[in-house]
Amino acid sequence: MKEIVSSLPGVFYRRPEPDKPVFVEEGDEVKAGDTIGLIEVMKSFQEVKAEADGVIKSIKVEDKAVVDAGQVVAELE
Amino acid sequence: MSYFKKVLIANRGEIARRIIKTCHRLGIETVAVYSDADADTPCVKEAGEARHIGGSQAKESYLNMEKIIQTAKDTGADAIHPGYGFLSENTKFTKLCEDAGITFIGPDAEKIQLMGDKIEARRHMQKAGVPVVPGWDGKLDSAEHALEIAEELGYPLMLKASAGGGGIGMHIVYNKEELTKSFSSAQQTAGASFGDDTVFLERFIEHARHIEVQIAADHKGHAIHLFERECSIQRRNQKVIEESPSPFLTEALRRKLCETAVTGVKEIGYTNAGTVEFIFDDETGDFYFLEMNTRLQVEHPVTEEITGIDLVELQLKIAAGEDIGFTQADIKHNGYAIEARLYAEDPDTYFPSPGKLTKLKLPEGIGRFDFAYEEGNTVSPFYDPMVGKIIVHGANREEALDWLDNVLDGIEIEGITTNLPLLKQLVNEKDFREGSYTTNYLQTRKAGRE
């Protein structure tokens, strides 16, 4: 199992825009480099990407919740 | 003279400290409000009293209108200063203040609303004889309709959100294909960001300078300007360096620009301090109204340094119903002032860098430092990346730039990445020294080095 961590502190978003679908759901297959969420930090948005291929086992952070640098955002199988 | 008994500052960081300073000098008591993340910041200690209002995310604290109004009532504040950003241009908030019998330090809701609607602002300024960017301010019903209008105006064009601002939701289009492609996404972005999907078209000025005029008007109909600020050094539509006077303007052009701004302000019956932004076509020398900011600006210290006028005091005075108390002829510009914004970000990629300031030493004796943080504070990821502003004043531009160079060299900052190296380079670059730059400067100079 691999962990996807946020390298920055900020606010986690699961959708690219409020009225758009989520980037990924649990059970979705992802490739290395796929965006799984956004971190809002200092009024800018940074992408959180999967670093390996796999299946999203669980998403650990709720939409619009605060995350710390190094916090696990999702788990990958 | 005490304009108010107690002012609550509905903001944070450097601007909260700035407002507290003037209030205390005038014998006005102050209340700071703060979020979880800001509990240890200097403004909390410097205010007469401080109240915690909620979580670190702005919507839980600095945008929580009911909580802020309740705090003002609880502490007996008779006025609220909104600073810039957050609730400073929010008409729902100004109405809540009014209902609570608390003075909002700024213009009335109607004027904020008017200038917040970019299409309406354009129409009103045009009516007053202020030149506006050639464009079409009618409602665009569809992409087909936009294409028709675009054909008449000519490319390149800028597709803008009527309710937008601060560079958000602007699309530059060079041809039919790009306009077709951008139209619906521009509408969507506008709808999602501002709750209004109205978009309009303006000619895109490729080589532009951004010059703005500081104005103030009281309730008796007196309106004055406090000269211009040149703000062309920008990254991602955010200002990095501001100066006054502009190295680009001749005395005749300066007078024309400043008088035009006052005419526009009088036409709409504006009150309190505000800024009329203009865009200059570097190729033709023509200038056009861009938008009006109905609040105190980040870069207001530049104006204070050359005029010797405290803009926060002027805001308090006007909000209290007093006359401005001096005339245009009384306002002189003395020397040259420049401001550099220190951002917590990579100097090349602008990648944000929040974190603990393990060291922050500012040189003593020269320069004005309006800083949000002090050594030991954590630069928060929840708000904008500005750590502070460095402002210097000199007899002329050359001297001011030399001072700035010295001051920047004297700053010691550790723990986070900042744009200090970029600021140091800029101050010594030939084109910048010669005043030869447009809003593309940071982008093109970077490309030139790569």
Q: Cβ(B368)–Cβ(B308) under 8 Å?
A: no
From B122, B295, B341, B397, the catalytic residue: B295
Cβ–Cβ of A42/B381 closer than 8 Å? yes
User: With a threshold of 0.90, does the pTM exceed it?
Assistant: yes
* A16-43 residue pLDDT tens: 888 889 999 999 999 999 999 999 999 8
Considering only CB atoms, which chain B residues are within 8 Å of A47? none
Interface membership of B344 toward A (CB under 8 Å): yes
What is residue A75's predicted lDDT score, i.e. its pLDDT? 95
pLDDT at B322 over 50: yes
Locate all alpha helices (DSSP H) within B47-167, ordered by sequence.
Answer: 65-75, 91-99, 109-116, 118-127, 143-153
Interface membership of B387 toward A (CB under 8 Å): no
Q: Per-residue pLDDT averaged across B96-108, rounded?
A: 97
Q: Cβ(B179)–Cβ(B147) under 8 Å?
A: yes
Alpha carbons B159 and B174: distance in angstroms, whole number? 11
What is residue B1's predicted lDDT score, i.e. its pLDDT? 56
Interface membership of A17 toward B (CB under 8 Å): yes
* B118-152 residue pLDDT tens: 899 999 999 999 999 988 878 888 899 999 999 99
Interface membership of A1 toward B (CB under 8 Å): no
Interface membership of B325 toward A (CB under 8 Å): no
Cis omega (within 30 of 0) for bond into B156: yes
Nearest-by-CA chain A residue for B55: A66
Which residue in B57, B189, B344 is closest to A42 by CB distance?
B344
- Sorted by where each starts, the structural domains of chain B and their CATH numbers stand as 6-105 (3.40.50.20), 134-203 (3.30.1490.20), 208-449 (3.30.470.20)
* B33-83 residue pLDDT tens: 999 999 999 999 999 999 999 999 999 999 999 999 999 999 999 999 999
At residue A59, the 3 state secondary structure works out as strand
Which residue in A9, A11, A19 is closest to B354 by CB distance?
A9
What is residue B448's predicted lDDT score, i.e. its pLDDT? 53
What is residue B193's predicted lDDT score, i.e. its pLDDT? 76
Cβ–Cβ of A42/B192 closer than 8 Å? no
Cβ–Cβ of A11/B351 closer than 8 Å? no
- A–B interface: beta-carbon pairs under 8 A: 37
pLDDT band of residue B447 (cuts 50, 70, 90) is low
Nearest-by-CA chain A residue for B350: A44
Considering only CB atoms, which chain A residues are within 8 Å of B350? 44
Calculate the CA A36 to chain-centre distance.
4
Considering only CB atoms, which chain A residues are within 8 Å of B189? 17
Interface membership of B384 toward A (CB under 8 Å): yes
Residue B51 designated active-site:
no
Interface membership of A42 toward B (CB under 8 Å): yes
Longest dimension (CA), chain A: 32
pLDDT at B449 over 70: no
Which residue out of A20, A40, A43 would a mutagenesis test of the B interface target, given it has the greatest number of B Cβ atoms within 10 Å?
A43
> What's the whole-number average pLDDT of chain B?
94
CATH topology (fold) of A2-76: OB fold (Dihydrolipoamide Acetyltransferase, E2P) (2.40.50)
Considering only CB atoms, which chain B residues are within 8 Å of A19? 192
What is residue B58's predicted lDDT score, i.e. its pLDDT? 94
ipTM tops 0.90: no
Which residue out of B57, B349, B350 would a mutagenesis test of the A interface target, given it has the greatest number of A Cβ atoms within 10 Å?
B57
Interface membership of A15 toward B (CB under 8 Å): no
Cα B398–Cα B403–Cα B408 angle in degrees, nearest 5 = 125
How many Cβ atoms sit within 10 Å of the Cβ of residue B274?
A: 27
Interface membership of A43 toward B (CB under 8 Å): yes
Which residue in A19, A46, A66 is closest to B57 by CB distance?
A66
DSSP letters for B188-201 = HHHHHHHS---EEE
Q: Which residue has the tokens 């009335």?
A: B108
**Nearest CA-CA partner of B288 in B319, B264, B311, B322:** B264
**Nearest CA-CA partner of B367 in B313, B320, B406, B319:** B406
* B289-302 residue pLDDT tens: 999 999 999 999 99
What is residue B359's predicted lDDT score, i.e. its pLDDT? 98
What is residue B450's predicted lDDT score, i.e. its pLDDT? 46
Cβ–Cβ of A42/B351 closer than 8 Å? no
Which residue in A8, A18, A19 is closest to B381 by CB distance?
A8
Interface membership of B378 toward A (CB under 8 Å): no
pLDDT at B195 over 90: no
pLDDT at B239 over 60: yes
pLDDT at B96 over 90: yes
Cβ–Cβ of B381/A9 closer than 8 Å? yes
What is residue B185's predicted lDDT score, i.e. its pLDDT? 84
Helix axes B311-319, B300-307, angle to 10 degrees: 100
Q: Per-residue pLDDT averaged across B298-321, rounded?
A: 98
